[in-house]
Amino acid sequence: MRKINRAVKIRIYPNAEQRVQIEKTIGCSRFIYNCMLADKIEHYKKEKKMLRNTPASYKKEYPWLKEVDSLALANVQIYLESAFCKFFREPSAGFPRFKSKKSSRKSYTTNVVNGNIFLEGKYLKLPKMTEVRKINRAVKIRIYPNAEQRVQIEKTIGCSRFIYNCMLADKIEHYKKEKKMLRNTPASYKKEYPWLKEVDSLALANVQMHLESAFCKFFREPSAGFPRFKSKKSSRKSYTTNVVNGNIFLEGKYLKLPKMTAIRTKFRRPISEKWKLKSVTVSREASGKYFASLLFYCENQAVEKRPVEKFLGIDFAMHGMCVFSTGERAGYPMFYRNTEKKLAREQRKLSRCQRGSRNYEKQKKRVAEQNVQKQ
């Protein structure tokens, strides 16, 4: 059987640190190529002989070359020598030229030596580079705003809904007249409605992004439906804001949000200091409780595999959820069954209330509270 070389081009998704390392290696490869070419030309003018220089001879003068893959620099030497060989064999190919930072191809080549490069699942390990992948992770916490903070949250939710409906209505009207999509922004409405300046501008900017993504989804998949107006009663009460220049941060048991003082929170799980906060979604449930969904940018660390010491069998049981092979039962507290009776009683009371009355709204809130406990 004859052996051949076969190349496969794949897309890679480096994180911030990995992108820096890749750009460093590309830049150092270009730098070494130009240095070696310049020294060869200068030496030939003086001695009329070809200089046999290597990338290793430059590391004393430029110690930062040690930060990148040495095999990538070695391949630069091979490429330069092959360019000279091609020129001496075929002068029409042209004399080797210097590499430009702007127009030259941004790439480098490295080799497999002693298993320094390998594929593991969906990951590619390269020299001088970490194999940690960054992911987004959301943590939902309960917040306890005071009276002023509740007013500000409700203002922001209301303004977000108002801007969404205004922008959608203007887009529809403009398309009917001009047959073109209107590129409107929340900032264009602040002159007409100055009270929009009282809320977080990033929350309004996210409304624009959500509306544009809704249109993109409709044009890509018409079955998804045309974007609809948001209702004051039935739509989800929430808004999203982003972290810019440290405007949002966690300090102890408090969460600082734009346009308001720090809000008291309640955490059910520890949050690592290495996690980087990206955005926060504040929402109000039907029960009247407020929550904040924190989106973090963090490392996806693989769980260390340990040898199995003993095995445990688990069998489903109608009473107590499950039974273990040791004979013990799980002792499930049966929250769902215990809350079903209370929920049915509150729903019967709601059915007797007149729709739209004050008692109806109060009872609706009690039903929502029981639904939360049921979950």
Say which amino acid occupies 60: K
In this predicted structure, what is the pLDDT of residue 148?
Answer: 94
**pLDDT score, position 211:** 93
Distance of CA 21 to the CA centre of its chain: 20
More confidently predicted of 306 and 24: 24
Neighbour order of strands in the sheet with 237-242: 237-242, 276-284, 290-299, 134-144, 263-266, 254-256, 249-251
Tally of structural domains, the chain = 3
CA-wise closest residue to 280 among 300, 265, 301:
265
Q: Are residues 208 and 288 in the same domain?
A: yes
Query: Would the pLDDT of 26 be above 80?
Result: yes
151 with 284, same domain: the answer is yes
The more confidently predicted of residues 302 and 16 is 16
Q: Which span out of 103-112, 153-162, 232-241 was modeled with the highest average pLDDT?
A: 153-162
Closest CA to 144 of 288, 355, 315: 288
Same domain, 203 and 318: no
The answer, yes or no, to whether residue 220 has pLDDT greater than 80, is: yes
Identify whether the C-beta of residue 260 lies closer than 8 Å to the C-beta of residue 248.
Answer: no
pLDDT at 301: 58
In a domain, 8, yes or no: no
Three-state DSSP class for 291?
A: strand
The residue segments making up the domain with residue 328 are 311-375
> Residue 84 — very low, low, confident or very high, per pLDDT cuts 50/70/90?
confident
| Per-residue confidence band for 305, with pLDDT thresholds at 50, 70 and 90 | low
Q: Are residues 201 and 77 in the same domain?
A: no
The model's pTM is 0.59
Residues 95 and 143 in one domain: no
pLDDT band at 101 (very low <50, low <70, confident <90, very high): confident
Same domain (yes/no): 70, 202: no
Give the model's pLDDT for residue 341.
84
Give the pLDDT of residue 15. 80
Q: Which residue has the higher pLDDT, 302 or 220?
A: 220
Task: Assess if residue 6 is contained within a domain.
Answer: no
Residue 300 has a pLDDT of 62
Are 179 and 207 within one domain? yes
Lowest mean pLDDT among 94-108, 252-266, 330-344: 330-344
Residue 281: its pLDDT value, please? 95
Q: How confident is the model at residue 302 (pLDDT cuts 50, 70, 90)?
A: low
Residues 159, 120: one domain? Answer: no
Of the three residues 258, 273, 305, the one that is the final residue of a domain is 305
> Which of the four pLDDT bands, split at 50, 70 and 90, describes residue 375?
low
Over residues 194-219, the pLDDT tens digits come to 999 999 999 999 999 999 999 999 98
Among residues 34, 105, 32, the alpha carbon closest in space to that of 64 is found at 32
- For 108-160, how does the pLDDT look when each residue is reduced to its tens digit (9 = 90+)? 999 988 888 888 777 888 888 765 566 788 899 999 999 999 999 999 999 99
Q: What is the mean pLDDT of the chain?
A: 87
Q: What is the pLDDT of residue 279?
A: 93
Instruction: Band the pLDDT of 290: cuts 50, 70, 90.
Output: very high
Quick: pLDDT tens for 307-362. 778 888 888 777 767 888 888 877 777 777 778 888 889 899 999 999 889 999 88
Clarify whether residues 85 and 37 are in a common domain.
Answer: yes
Choose among 297, 299, 253, 260: nearest CA to 282.
Answer: 260
Task: Note whether 189 and 41 are same-domain residues.
Answer: no
Query: E strand or H helix at 136, and its extent?
Result: strand 134-144
